Amino acid sequence: MSNYKVAIDIGGTNINSAVINADDLSFVESNSVPTPNNETDLIIDEVYRIAKSYKDKYAINNLDLGISSAGVIDDEAGTVVYSGPTIPNYKGTNFKDYLAPLYSNIAVLNDVNAALLGELTYHNYRQDNIFCLTIGTGIGGAFYNRTLGIHTGARHRANQIGYLLYDSHSETTFETRASTSGLKQLMKTKNYRYESNVKQLFKDAKKGDALANDILNEWSTYLAEGIAQIQIIYDPDVILIGGAISAQGENLLNYIVPKLEFFLPHHYGHAQIQTTLSLNNAALIGAIAKLL
């Protein structure tokens, strides 16, 4: 009998999903669909549809289902207890109750916690203290200590770093300015000819395009400011940067790392900064990590 588990990762832009063979963590099938607006079309209904389609297609009698989701998640209750404006009407969504007809076992995690668990499942990090931030529609954080595990906080709200650095003049936060959404908005504001094509932006910058470099320098300054706050608060061994933009690797880090010293005390120092090794699969693996 196959040892298949279903993982679903809910983001502000897309819902990624996969059937994963738990024996070797290989992907049997994976898909991605746009995230419903959660007003006329509900996210929970789309998640139910995805899970049921995999359960039926692969004849999984006792379904182990892992859910990774944006927002503040109560892992035990399987509920969204807080959500920012990127996903309207999301607070109060209860995955455990709504999906109960489908699963035998379920794990519901915050998406960045899941991404970090997935990264640790895939790769053997030697460091004891690891902070992960994912950059996408918003910005999220997760902190892992080898002895204590993933730190979630007293009210499941630990590491909500996207809300740092609120600026009352512009009414923006770290997330607003430094997320991929913030970068795309900056590209439009500065009339970049390829509008919101982030991959092309990095290509043009590498070729020496002045506007592309100007955009990336401004955006990466916002990002470096937030990472400096993480350094001061957590003092981790390593800070991982995840999300689709992490595929830029050294091209991304070369914009960020040199700017950190401007937001830290003189000779303060900082953790090793690197992009995640698992890229976009980490949250899906992390979603089922507790079910392995």
Determine the residue type at 222. Y
Instruction: Return the closest-CA partner of residue 25 out of 53, 5, 50, 8.
Output: 5
CA–CA dist 128, 147 (Å, integer): 8
Q: Decide if 48 contacts 65 (C-beta within 8 A).
A: no
pTM tops 0.85 = yes
CA–CA dist 88, 90 (Å, integer): 5
Stretches where the chain sits below pLDDT 70 are: 1, 279-280
Residue 44: what pLDDT?
A: 97
Q: How far is C-alpha 220 from the chain's CA centre?
A: 18
Q: Decide if 43 contacts 36 (C-beta within 8 A).
A: yes
Instruction: Return the closest-CA partner of residue 177 out of 168, 186, 187.
Output: 186
Give the length of the chain: 292
Instruction: Return the closest-CA partner of residue 70 out of 52, 95, 45.
Output: 95
3-state secondary structure of 264: coil
- Unique residue bearing structure tokens 């909500």: 160
pLDDT, one tens digit per residue, over 184-202 is 999 999 999 998 999 999 9
Burial of 49-84, coded b for 16+ CB within 10 Å and e otherwise, reads: ebbeebbeeeebeebbbbbbbbbbbbeeebbbeebb
The tokens for 231 are: 């350094």
Residue 156: what pLDDT?
A: 80
- Unique residue bearing structure tokens 């859910």: 67
The residues facing 150 across adjacent strands are 144
CA–CA dist 13, 10 (Å, integer): 8
Residue 160: what pLDDT?
A: 87
The CATH number of 4-116+281-291 is: 3.30.420.40
Residue 1: what pLDDT?
A: 56
- Pairing mode, strands 72-74 and 79-82: antiparallel
Q: Decide if 108 contacts 95 (C-beta within 8 A).
A: yes
Q: Domain limits of the chain?
A: 4-116+281-291, 124-276
Sequence-ordered list of residues with C-beta below 8 angstroms from that of 202, at least 6 positions apart, any chain: 212, 216, 248, 251, 252
Q: Decide if 127 contacts 292 (C-beta within 8 A).
A: no
Q: Decide if 159 contacts 140 (C-beta within 8 A).
A: yes
Sequence-ordered list of residues with C-beta below 8 angstroms from that of 94, at least 6 positions apart, any chain: 77, 78, 79, 80
Residue 212: what pLDDT?
A: 98
Residue 137: what pLDDT?
A: 85
Instruction: Return the closest-CA partner of residue 288 out of 2, 7, 52.
Output: 7
Options 3.40.50.620, 3.30.420.40, 3.10.580.10, 3.50.50.60; CATH of 124-276: 3.30.420.40
Sequence-ordered list of residues with C-beta below 8 angstroms from that of 4, at least 6 positions apart, any chain: 19, 20, 21, 22, 28, 58, 60
